[in-house]
Chain A
């Protein structure tokens, strides 16, 4: 993906996170509405070096991949060659699709009521 395609604006994050559905029925009772801030676009760092947690997750993913798939069907990437969060996510997604094909492709944080 090129840099332009990877660029995330603050507005883009805001659109994805969204707000509660204004068409939803009103909440019953005495409800206090609390406004929460959206993270800045600069929070995103696909090239962040992976933590020890993600390193461990990669080892577990590879362990499961090796147990589940014949060599010719494996992804081929090695955990020790994966350094960034985006690289890790790509490998984790590839193996998880095999382990759990029913997992949907999309997930985005939504405050309730959004579709």
Chain B
């Protein structure tokens, strides 16, 4: 076993909200051409037939208001450009058209093509260039948050393509780990933000949960669980400590607050030398939030479920045989070679998370979902023979 894997005791996943790969990391193509980002030639037609090119004009807030539609029918339009034929091909030509539908404002609809220049996202881009960035990590479903996050927890959404309450018919990654004698925890930000896993995990298994404060304390004391899943703050609100900015980066929340949050999670691990040497941190986004990305989502192993027209709100049944839009994903560990770019030949999705965690901590697990069984795992990226001594650290 490679020494990095031998040393690995903790896997931490931080899942942010609703930003596409190109929107956040597309600028990095100029830094490293192996990163499949943007070069300025990518475009979408607007509703007048004009070409709308990508531009590095994304702003921290107030630009993507209203929240771009990212429910199943809108994402279908974004991916297929409005083609409903049986022979259609994913072309990523419908983002401007989709956003136009929300306000019928031609100029505003073009903002869905904007992306961040590298210097506006010092945390995300420095982590991407110092550790491993994935060229092909896709949302699990061309749809919204709840069903996509379910893939990270269960390896499936049990047939859901939307935001409805559902009950799982299989064990979450946390239950699997506990059954196998391991430890696992979901950390939400505070009680006013809570979790997106309310009905199943919080209601029935509250012992699995902690808060962001507890995560920081666990890092400091060296008592972090084998597996940790961290949720951001989903709302602007007050708590006993005063005003709290939403840190999830969901439009129209402030991007810089999310950068701070990512930095704080990374720093907490980095500052404990034992934890730093024995932890892999994955920063990933749940779905693209209706924002442009230029890479068509590929077909995938069917999920064993189907969602009919009443669920998809389209004239067809979805068999969970295509992934959602590409999202940012970065793997951080001192055992990852600096500047790793995971190639386009390796496709990951959120089922890769329980598949990887299960494989590392449990080994053979016969009850994993069909999507997990076909998902790529990512710990082979901890490939160095000796641990790196260089790293980054964030300060305000």
Contact = CB atoms under 8 A, between A and B. Distances in A.
Interface of A: 1, 6, 8, 12-14, 16-20, 24, 27-39, 43-46, 48, 50-57, 59-61, 63-64, 67-68, 85-86, 88-90, 92-93, 95-97, 99-100, 102-113
A39 B260 contact: yes
A39 B238 CA distance: 16
A61 to B, nearest CB: 6
Contacts, number: 249
Contact of A8 (B211, B242, B389, B393): B242
Nearest to A9: B243
B42 interface: no
Interface of B: 17-18, 60-61, 67, 71, 122-123, 126, 144-146, 163-165, 188-194, 196, 198-199, 202-203, 206, 209-214, 216, 219-220, 233-247, 250-252, 254, 256-257, 259-261, 263-264, 267-268, 270-271, 273, 388-396
A8 B241 CA distance: 12
Interface majority SS (helix, strand, loop, mixed), chain B: mixed
A103 B263 contact: no
A56 to B, nearest CB: 4
Given A33-B393, A39-B256, A56-B163, A85 B214 contact: no
Given A37-B256, A56-B146, A89-B237, 12 more contacts: A1-B238, A12-B243, A36-B259, A38-B396, A48-B236, A57-B194, A63-B165, A63-B198, A86-B236, A92-B192, A112-B216, A113-B267
A89 B250 CA distance: 16
Contact of B256 (A43, A57, A111): A43
A59 B145 CA distance: 14
